[in-house]
A = this chain, B = another copy of it.
Amino acid sequence: MVRRSDSGEQRPTTIRDVAAHAGVSVATVSRILSGSYPSAPATRSKVMKAVRELDYVANANARNLAGASSRSVAIIVNSVVSPHYAHVAQGVQTQAALEGKLCIVGTTGGDAERELATVQLMRQEHAECVILVGNVVNNDAYRERMADYARALAAAGSQLVLCGRPTLGPDVPALVVEYDNTGGAYAITSHLLSAGHRRILFLGRHEGYTTSDSRITGYRNALADHRVPHDPGLEADGTMERSEGYRMIRERLAAGPPDFTAVFAGNDLIAAGARQALREHGLRVPDDVSMVGFDDLPPAADIDLTTVHVPHEELGRTAVRLALERRQEKVVAPAQHVLLGTHIIVRDSVRPVRVALG
């Protein structure tokens, strides 16, 4: 609610108003609203009554709720179960809290119509920025849809941010925060090559999808630079799920004995599934087969996986920070493009390839 101050101008209800109304200290109100300290039921009742009567909305971002000004940042993901999406969303939430904003996550289940509807919802709710995350088919239909989002949000005073997605070009008012997929894939493939591996099975080729394409490009570039002939037969098609890693190895080993000494799993989930399938076939990582992944998310630590660290939370934090900066500075186009680095995390899943003696 908005109150008239002594000087007459309008101002939102503050915690002081609540304290005065309830006849207690500001500290008491804060303590009781936080719910994390003991307090006398009578005091609590007085305070909650004052909160109700003044329709007090706690904290700065929330006070904005009373006014028309926006107060939230939005992130839209396919699914919050994917550790990658969840950790980016966590970064968004962390930065939003620092900036005194609420954080809203929209989920689409990967459905383009739900994505469109969710973007429109966030626009109508005056989210200060709308962050879209992750793997896409980068075709004309996609780029046109994103360009429409970017213009519609800009027209509404909001800002489209693409996270871990390619740029849309200079004429589209979108902020792009990417990380170095190709560089990370190049580095981790080189790590296997330096250990003497030449037959490296890539799990999770998914042509047309940006994340898979950029990772497999790094894999192929590293092979080429090490003058290792590229064998397309060592690229297994699949999506980025644990069950897919299990399936790809199962099918491969059913077709014949392993024709590879190392596995480059397209992400850590694929690695976990592949590791299970190898184990069921009597093959241990790293003793029998070396393995690396990508993401450095659970379950990488639990399976001792050497992998590529992706700055998931930093992606989310950077997206929010830059978007809000642009708003404050009233920056419109040109589009902005940020690329965050990746690096290898060495655990215990790679052994030097055995050399046959004699």
Q: Contact residues of A with B, CB < 8 Å?
A: 32-39, 41, 44-45, 48, 51-52, 57-59, 61-62, 65, 71-72, 79-81, 83, 86-87, 89-90, 93-94, 97, 102-107, 109, 111-114, 116-118, 120-121, 124-125, 137, 139-142, 144-145, 148, 272, 275-276, 298-299, 301-303
The answer to whether A90 and B86 have CB atoms under 8 Å apart is no
Q: Which 6 pairs between the two chains have the least Cβ-Cβ distance? A: A62-B117, A105-B105, A58-B113, A35-B141, A93-B107, A299-B302
Q: Which of B32, B121, B298 touches A299 (beta carbons < 8 Å)?
A: B298
Decide if B144 touches A45 in the complex (CB within 8 Å): yes
| Chain B min CB distance to A281 (Å) | 16
Cα separation A204 to B35 with both chains bound (whole Å) = 22
CB atoms of B117 and A58 under 8 A apart? yes
Chain B residues positioned under 8 Å from A140 (CB to CB): 41, 44
**Chain B hits for A65, CB < 8 A:** 117, 120-121, 124
Docked CA distance A39–B137 (Å): 14
Establish whether residues B80 and A90, one from each chain, have CB atoms under 8 Å apart when the complex forms: yes
Candidates B48, B51, B86, B113; contact of A59 at CB < 8 Å: B113
CB of B72 within 8 A of CB of A79, answer no
Taking CB atoms, residues of chain B closer than 8 Å to A144 are 44-45, 48
Closest to A31 in B: B141
CA distance A273 to B218 in the complex (A): 33
Kindly state the separation between the CA atoms of A114 and B99 in the bound complex, as whole angstroms.
13
Say yes or no: B111 contacts A97, CB within 8 Å. yes
Bound Cα distance from A92 to B298, whole angstroms: 23
Pairwise interchain contact A103-B93, C-beta atoms closer than 8 A: no
How near does chain B come to A205, taking the closest CB pair, in angstroms? 18
